[in-house]
Amino acid sequence: MNSKLGPLFCILLSFGTVIRQTDMAYLNVAEFFNITNGNLSSITWAHAVNSKSELAASLNSSIMMLEADVVIGKINNSGNEIPIMAHPPANTSDLSLSDFLSEILEFNLKANSQAKKGVKLDFKSIEALENSLDELDKLYANMSYPVWINADIISGPVNATGTPVDPARFFKNTKHFQNSTLSIGWTTNYGQNFSTSTYSNDQITNMLDVILQNNVSQSITFPVRAGIAAESATQMRRLLSDVTNSTLTIWSGDGDNVNAKKLQQLILSVGVNKTYIDVPDALLKEINLSGSSSVAKTTLKLLGIALVAILVL
């Protein structure tokens, strides 16, 4: 990153520079799963597919996208340190990245098109990403299904202290995965006992700056934490309008404090054609995304009754 250019980009962005992204991800998720009306919220997710049993269960289900975490660690606590599927602080797993990728590749080769899966790899550190490149390179050309590459590359709310994945190294190492969607987010510090928290304007600007500085050409989705995103409608709209063709991927921690009403309003106002939703079932049940509010439904019902009354008379 050129530090001298930083302030210049900030100025440009503050004057409303729009980052033009194409939507070229090979087999764009909506197309791949034949989603009607571009309703991205109807894509289904398996979260943290980090073990052999989770993988088997996900493959034997109708779920479309498998989200899983990559860290450096050991298989069954022994042998060399390699990229494995696990969520920090875990550093051992019975599933390596190598096995995860090849099992899904083999599954998709045999599966009929309605059963095929896409994958989202959440790299928990720059080391995890850099040590996974050989394995990904080897299989990439044969992965004719959605392959998302995710990392938290910017410090985020609420005063999160986790170390983000270095953005310049992230973009440099993902440059040759042109058919992938880059899922780039913020570190977060949140949970059940947090009250109203938002993504700050600076945190949004920092994200826009690194996208511009690194000449990113892939499709972009911004993974945002449901409870915080629901309180940050203005910032979410800024992301979507400043990076054309970008989307949100709304995720949530189990038990996070989420204002479901505000979340529903956010999703419906930016559009279900702009929002992937990977949240626990309990939260999903709380939000109605059909697009017709209860007020609208009541109005329609009353109009219907009036019409019937008029016809009868």
| Of residues 4 and 20, the one with the C-beta less far from ligand NAG | 20
Which among 64, 121, 61 is positioned nearest to 96, based on CA atoms? 121
Looking only at residues 195 through 234 of this chain, which bind ligand NAG when binding is defined by CB under 6 A? 214-215
**272 interacts with ligand NAG by CB under 6 A:** yes
Q: How much of the chain is helix, strand and coil, in % rounded to 5?
A: 40, 20, 40
Alpha helix (H) residue ranges in the chain: 5-14, 29-32, 52-59, 97-110, 126-130, 133-140, 167-174, 201-213, 226-229, 233-242, 260-270, 281-286, 294-312
Q: Among 9-17, 22-30, 120-128, 301-309, which window interacts with ligand NAG (CB under 6 A)?
A: 22-30
H or E element in which residue 151 lies: strand 147-154
- In 3D space, the residue among 126, 187, 195, 123 whose CA is nearest the CA of residue 159 turns out to be 187
Would you state the torsion angle of the CA atoms of residues 137, 139, 144, 146, taken in this order, to the nearest 10 degrees?
-60
When binding is defined by CB under 6 A, the residue of 12, 42, 200, 280 that contacts ligand NAG is 42
Binding status of residue 139 toward ligand NAG by CB under 6 A: yes
- Quick note: the x/- pattern for ligand NAG over 228-247, rule CB under 6 A, is ----------------xx--
Q: Which of residues 162-191 bind ligand NAG (CB under 6 A)?
A: 179, 191
Of residues 50 through 89, those in contact with ligand NAG by CB under 6 A are 56-57, 60, 75-76, 89
Number of chain positions touching ligand NAG (CB under 6 A): 43
Residue ranges binding ligand NAG (CB under 6 A): 20, 22-24, 26, 33-34, 37-39, 41-42, 56-57, 60, 75-76, 89, 91, 94, 113-114, 138-142, 158-159, 179, 191-193, 214-215, 244-245, 271-273, 289-291
